[in-house]
Amino acid sequence: MRTSLLSRSVVAVATLGISSVALAAVPASAASPSGVTRQQVLSVLDMFRAGTAGDFDDLEDLENIQDSVAGIVSAACGVQIDPESNDSFLRDARPILGKRVEGLLITAFVDHDPDDETNAEEPCTFGVLATSDDNATLVGEATIGYTPDPPEDDDQSDRAAPAEIPAPLTSTLSGDVFTSPVLNHTADGQSIYRSVTFTANGTTTTTTSETTTTTTTVAKKVWDKKSTSEKRSAKKKYVKRLKAAKATYQRALGRANGDATKKAAARQAYRTQRAAFATSYKYATWNYRYVKRPATTSATRTGTDSRPFSVKSRTIPSPT
């Protein structure tokens, strides 16, 4: 279980704001970029937590965050970011904090063709979400889309008409980590300020298992060779018991005084004793014996534990 909640002060310092300057992202290889992993997302969130006692204006803290976010941006935006040579690619990284999930809403500036000097960097905004609990999976939907923001000044006479805002993109959540579709902020050069809103609603589902252990006693047959003296002793004991049982039976018949019911009861008791003595004698002279030993059996019952979550994050307004 991870600690998923940060204080308000943590959230305040956890947002990275970096002015946009030129950078050239290293082109990606021919292979498709690898997907974002849960560990990448949680590692960045852990770094935010570790920074609560410090100041994110500290250059070392800032570089560590950017190094970790670079891998996420590279995978999501389709470029290979080198944070060593491009130390200002990250504009905004906002923590997404929930009871069951946590993640980031990221805006980075990427250049898909660094050899083209006329090709300006484009903002690449996306959300990533990971389960806070190990072995949990995401179920539900996430939506990312633009939100219009008015310009800071009221004079819009020299502004072109704002471009139509594209419809939000909704995706199905699955797995233990989710990456939203990327918003490239393409607005045909229109000067409209926009922010991005990311929302996710659903459940985290964890497979549970309960193992019940039961211990019983079982009899196991083992080799036990009887000696001649043991067999002789067993026979002597058997004959003695039969003699005593027969004497008891004769006394019972005498006390019955001819009562058929009492005589039948005495006879049945005598037969039962004879059978028991015969069984004991056979076991005593048998070349095996039974040993009682504990036996443990386990049964596992599986199920699912689903718990709801709802998170929302929004970037600061940025020019397209």
- Alpha-carbon separation of residue 147 from 72, 77, 199, 235 (angstroms): 24, 21, 12, 100
For residue 199, what pLDDT band results from cuts at 50, 70 and 90?
very high
CB 122 within 8 A of CB 47: no
pLDDT digits (tens, 9 = 90+) for 94-152: 889 888 999 999 988 877 665 666 556 778 889 999 999 988 999 999 999 988 765 55
- DSSP 8-state symbol, 151: -
pLDDT digits (tens, 9 = 90+) for 17-44: 332 322 333 333 222 234 899 999 998 8
Q: Domain locations in the chain?
A: 8-208+304-319, 226-286
**Which letter, b or e, does each residue of 262-300 get, where b requires 16 or more Cβ atoms within 10 Å of its Cβ?**
ebeebeeebeebeeebeeebeebeeeeeeeeeeeeeeee
- Alpha-carbon separation of residue 2 from 29, 33, 41, 206, 208 (angstroms): 35, 28, 13, 14, 18
**Which letter, b or e, does each residue of 184-218 get, where b requires 16 or more Cβ atoms within 10 Å of its Cβ?**
ebebeeeebebbbbbbbebbbbbeeeeeeeeeeee
CA–CA gap between residue 28 and residue 21 (Å, rounded)? 21
